[in-house]
Structure 1
Amino acid sequence: MADLTPERQRDFEAAAFRRLTEHLRTRSDVQNIDLMNLAGFCRNCLSNWYRDAATAEGVELSKDESREIVYGMPYAEWQAKHQTDASPEKQAAFEQNRPKDH
């Protein structure tokens, strides 16, 4: 790759993460179960990965803190504003395709 230093790679990855989280914030119509059923990850997964990365560097974040970073607001607030009940079909698809590490 064209002179991609580890620092530039980190910066580009961070920019991509920020863009992804902003995109997910603007697409509150897309439910986490839809993301899980289609892609095998959701906003909560992203917040868990963020927390795992912080922990690996010796920074302790709570689940609520890492979710607020991803959601852009407290998780309970996001749920109240945007979360809808999943249909039985979506729940069944999730149970059938659920990743083993969730």
Structure 2
Amino acid sequence: ELGGSLAPGLWMHQGAQRVLQRCAPGVLYSDLNACNSYQNALVAAAQIKVPATFILGERDMMTPAKAGKTLAAATPNARTVVLPGAGHMMMVEQPDQLLAALQS
């Protein structure tokens, strides 16, 4: 989404495109179709028995933070961390902030 990276020489969009180009035909469609077809996420979330951490990107267009917050609210013993300014590729966009969220 953001198109840049703090890491010199790393271009997120092109990197993602190369990964997708290497997928077998139909893989991306099957993946996205499965995501769109999934039902009962809130019911399933309510049954989780272990602590969970939801780390969300504030600017994530693929998995909006609003949807993540809804899922987290349905999950017992969940905490939510929103990374300001981060998009869908938070591991590349904000690796230090992501690591801090995982460690806290």
- TMscore range, shorter length: under 0.3
Q: Normalized against structure 1, the TM-score is what?
A: 0.27
